[in-house]
Structures are given as structure tokens and as C-alpha cells.
Structure 1
Amino acid sequence: MSTTTSKIRSFNRFYTAHLDILSQHYLDSEYSLTEIRILYEISESKIITAQKITEILNLDKGYLSRILKRFLKENLIVKVASAEDKRAFNIKLSDTGNELLSILNTKSENKIEGKIEKLNTSEKEILVDSMNTVRNLLTENKIAREDITYRHEITPGDVGYIIYLHGAIYGKEYHFSSDFEKYVIKTFYDFLEKYSPEKDRIWMAEHNNKIVGCVAIVHQPDGEAQLRWFLLDPAFRGLGIGKRLLTDAVDFCKEKNFKNVFLLTTSMQDKALQMYKMIGFKLTQSEKVEEWGKTFYEERYDLKLSK
């Protein structure tokens, strides 16, 4: 068994025990967790077929059939003839079923509130963000573009986290030494010392209030601007985030009437180089260097905005 699998199984045991969901009678009711979940799905869909319930919850048809027969006997659900197929039936909650589910929902909410009442606001946010991360990683469709938000206001902790991302991602993908992180720290120190909101800007892409991508424009003498710190968390690539960040950065340069935008990068960053070229940057300098424990070509790309 892999370490990852072992840790996931360990967490599953902890979480099911923590929420006390293995009891035969969930929330001191006459019903199991599976039975309550079936009632919940019927409620959420307003009206649904037995086939759809089996697909959503991955239940055996025979097992579900026995549960639905019990629900009918106890007047928790009602069967409604399908308008499209007279041989088929839809299912919806009865007034009794709605009342039961309302009581159990209140009990569940109160129980969870009790579990997290000792957590402060920040800890609750971390908990919810972590749960969203697990859900996204284990869902086939993972992350949607509409789940990503963008901002350019710098708040406490932003720069520190962006520096961390640079060290972690470049260390893993390009095997740069810790000297690279020192370099990034220095560049941000210089940036913040001379920061001017009218001429400088950092754009951040976020998912669940966590920075997953960034880019910046830093003003330079003689009507030039430098594009810096373009970075994307590997888990969020392929969603158009990089294109959006670069487009916003170039549009800002045009708005501020910069004559030229340049960037310094390495020959190792193939995907980023493709994106730079797609929006019009052209290679103007290339020099072989040895830095951060690697040998590569340091390259300059320029994008002329006015003649």
C-alpha cells in the first residue's frame, strides 16, 4: 500500500468517526446515513426517478428499491406518474418527508456548529478551503474557469505567498537551488520600496481565496515597463488563467502609455515562452549563464507598444 493511500484511509477513518456517521441510526433518527442521503437527493431534485438516484449515489438497484418501499409505507415519499412515460414514475417528498428532513438538517447543522465552535474565523476558512481542495482534486471536472477570481489590490501576506510559490514551483520543476528564492525576495523588496500604484501593478488569480497565479508590471525609466513574476500553480494550468493575466498586464501597459514592455526569463520555460510569443513578445537577447545550481540561457523578450 502506498503512503498516499494509507494516509487517505487514515483520514477517512478519522472523519467518519469524528462526525459519528457510522451509527445505524443517524442523528438519533430511525434511519441510516444512506437513507437520509436518499431523502436529501429527492428533496434537492424536487422530483426524481429511482434510476437517477442510483446513478447519483452509486447504489444497488435492489437495495434502493427496498428503501423506497419503506419510505412509501411510512409516507415519506409519493410516486407521481411520468407525463412522458405512463409506465414510469417520478418520486418526490411528501409533507411528512419534508418535515423529517427539515428536522434532521437542523440537527446536522447544530452538530457541525458544535464541532467547529472552538475554531476562530481564520481556522474555519482554512478548513473550508481544504475541503474545497479535496473536492476539486477528486472530481472528474476538477476546476472550472468560473471558479477563478482575479484581483490586483495587494493585501498583507500576498507577497510572502507569491515568493513561496516561486521557490516551491521552480524548485520542483526546474530544480533551482534556494539561491533562486533569495533572488525573488530581493526583487520584491526592491519593488515594494519603489512601488507606485499609478505605474506598478500585481495581478493575482485566486481559487478558494488562495493565490494560484500571478503576474506584475514594474515601471522602468524611459517609458519602459518590465513584466515580472509570471507564475501559475501546476494544478491550475490549462484553464486560460495565464492568458488572462498576461492580457491584463499588457492592457495596463497600453493604458499607462508605456512605449515598451520587456521581460527576463530562461530558455527552460517552454510553456511560458509560447505564451509570451503569442501576445507579441520577441526575443531580443540571449546569454548563457550559470545560476541557482543550473546552466541555461537567460533571455530577454520585448513587446513594442509605440514607435
Structure 2
Amino acid sequence: MENEIQQIRSFNRFYTSHIGMLKNNFLDSPYSLAEVRLLYEIGEYKNITSQQLTELLYLDKGYVSRVVKMFLKDNIIEKIQSEEDKRAYFIILTEKGNNLLKVLQSKSDEQIEEIVQPLYADEKELLINSMSSIKSLLAPDYDKIKLAQNVKFREGLKPGDIGYLIYLHGKLYTQESGYDKDFEKYVIKTFSEFLENYSLENDKIWLAEYNQQIVGCVAILHRSDEEAQLRWFLTLPLFRGTGIGKKLLNTALDYCKEKKYKNLYLLTTSVQEKAIAMYEKAGFVKTESVESVQWGQTLVEERYDLRLI
């Protein structure tokens, strides 16, 4: 934990310095960063109260009150009494305030362009994706379900996908099941066979991506006119329990029904308890069970079948 804390502190120091947060006059305006942020929220929400500003920005009530008084004195905001509650006053920007905000936003845009200008396209993409992840993970209402709403699904392979899928299988199965390096060799072999015999018409693979990184996958391989195999069903731990795995599995099952396969089978080991629970819920039944020694462990290899017709 100590290392994580140091990394976050280091990032905070870098970021606050990089965007000029420590300057008294932010973006060459008469105001500090916190004051400009208040101004921005007033412009963004159109009708907002001092209390709402306090809650929105987690600021001290007295501080917000002092800034609002300063803004009133500078004629960049005005207060309008609420028709529903005569005790409440909405804060809105004056024409002068609107013009000032436009100037500040333009300067902010220029500052951002200057910061990212030296970066290549893929570096900008990495930056934006990282910022999106930070925003999602540190949001007050963060949960995995909301994070999963940004996951996108696609069918088919792009250059580099197979290599990344091999990496994910090797990493996750080592961490979670204790498999040795021979398992990764096995995964490489299975994907190699898949590519050698790949049929665009009969073999399908679906991927789930978050910020353009693969976080889940599933594939259907044609074995005969009546039977297919489900392979490489995987979801990263962060996205388990969010419906991502269920959607991938259902997509694969729907495809098999479309193709009118009579039987769908999969091979797994008894240690994959969570995945097996999902298979059984979908209707798969265990049909074979054999003990073997492989990948550094004594395992029970299992076959599950799903009758589709």
C-alpha cells in the first residue's frame, strides 16, 4: 500500500504543477483555480444555489460565500430569487461573466492543445483512456456496473488480438489457478491451430473492450455440421459480476442456435468453479470427468455439453 500512496502523491504533485494549479491567477485571470472552477459550474448549471455549489465541489460553505460576494462585486454574476422558494436565490452569469468564461475556456483549450501537441495519436489515446479510468474509478458513485457500461463489444480479430489473448490467459490462469508456464504453451498451441484452420464462415470470436483494451472474450469453433466447441471464455476480474461475461456467453449461444448446431461442448477443469456455475446456469451438463497431471497440478478435466436441438 505504501508504494501506491507514493505513486498517487507523485502524480498529484506532477498534475497540479503541470496545469498551473499553484498559480494565484489561473489562466492569466484575476482569479485562482478554485474560483474559476466555481465560475465554470455556475455557467454549466445555469441556475444553481450557493449550497449546491458547496456540495458539488466539496468546498467550505464560508469560502463559497466569500467567492460569490466577490463575483457579485465584480459584476460577473447576479442572484435571482426562486419563484418556488422565496428564501432561495439562484446564481447566474451576467453578460460580463459569460464573456469572461468564454475567454477562460478558450485559454484552457489552448493550454490543453499545447500540452498534448507533442504526443502521437496513440499516445493521446492512451492519455485520454487513462484519464477516463481515473475519473470512473474515483467517482463518488463508482461501482463496477457503471464502469462496465463503457465496455464495447466486437466480433472478429484485429492484428495483435491473438497475442494479447494468449497473454491474458497466461497471466490470469497463473494468478488464479496456479498453473505453470506449460499452460501458456498450451494456449499458444490452441490459438495456432485455430488460425491454421480458421473458417470465416463457421468460426467466430467475440471480444469485450474497455478503453480499447480487451477485457473479455469467447469463441465458437466449428467441429462438424452438428457440433461446435466453446473456447477461450474469459472475463477480467474487474468486470466479473457486471454482466459482461453473461453477454459474451449469450452471444455465442445465440450464434450456435442460428447455425442450428445440435450440440455445443466445452472443456474445462474443476477448479474453474465460477465459470462452471455460469455454464450450468446456461444449461450445460457435465458429461466426462478425468483426473490428470498437467500445468504443474493434479487436475480434474471436465467436459460439459449443451443440447441445442
Taking structure 2 as the reference length, the TM-score comes to: 0.96
User: Match of 1:131, as an amino acid?
Assistant: M
User: Match of 1:41, as an amino acid?
Assistant: E
Alignment of 1:173-188 (within 5 A): 173-188=176-191
Alignment of 1:287-298 (within 5 A): 287-298=290-301
Residue 203 of structure 2, aligned match among 181, 197, 200: 200
Give CA-to-partner distance per residue, 1:256-287, whole Å, 9 cap, x none.
11111100111111111111011110001111
1:70 aligned partner: 70
Could you tell me how far apart the structure 2 residues matched to 1:55 and 1:169 are?
41
2:142 aligned partner: 141
Q: How many positions carry a matched residue from both structures?
A: 306
1:18 aligned partner: 18
2:278 aligned partner: 275
User: Match of 1:248, as an amino acid?
Assistant: T
1:5 aligned partner: 5
2:254 aligned partner: 251
Could you tell me how far apart the structure 1 residues matched to 2:23 and 2:143 are?
31
Could you tell me how far apart the structure 2 residues matched to 1:166 and 1:155 are?
18
Query: How far off is 1:295 after superposition?
Result: 2.1
2:55 aligned partner: 55
DSSP-derived class of the 2:291 partner: strand
DSSP-derived class of the 1:147 partner: coil
1:164 aligned partner: 167
Alignment of 1:74-85 (within 5 A): 74-85=74-85
Could you tell me how far apart the structure 1 residues matched to 2:189 and 2:219 are?
15
Could you tell me how far apart the structure 2 residues matched to 1:180 and 1:137 are?
32
Could you tell me how far apart the structure 1 residues matched to 2:217 and 2:149 are?
17
DSSP-derived class of the 1:113 partner: helix
Query: How far off is 1:242 after superposition?
Result: 0.8
Could you tell me how far apart the structure 1 residues matched to 2:228 and 2:13 are?
54
Query: How far off is 1:222 after superposition?
Result: 5.1
User: Match of 1:227, as an amino acid?
Assistant: L
Could you tell me how far apart the structure 2 residues matched to 1:107 and 1:181 are?
51
Structure 2: any 5+ residue segments left out of the alignment? none
Give CA-to-partner distance per residue, 1:4-59, whole Å, 9 cap, x none.
10111011111111222211110111110000111111111111111111111100
Could you tell me how far apart the structure 1 residues matched to 2:297 and 2:31 are?
62
Could you tell me how far apart the structure 2 residues matched to 1:45 and 1:294 are?
60
Give CA-to-partner distance per residue, 1:72-123, whole Å, 9 cap, x none.
1111111111122001111111111111111111111111111111111111
Write out the 4+ residue segments of structure 1 that deviate beyond 4 Å after TM superposition: none
Percentage of identical aligned residues: 54
1:236 aligned partner: 239
Structure 1: any 5+ residue segments left out of the alignment? none
1:212 to 2:215 alignment? yes
RMSD: 1.3
2:126 aligned partner: 126
Taking structure 1 as the reference length, the TM-score comes to: 0.96
User: Match of 1:53, as an amino acid?
Assistant: L
Give CA-to-partner distance per residue, 1:193-242, whole Å, 9 cap, x none.
11112111111111122211110101113521110111111111111111
User: Match of 2:249, as an amino acid?
Assistant: L
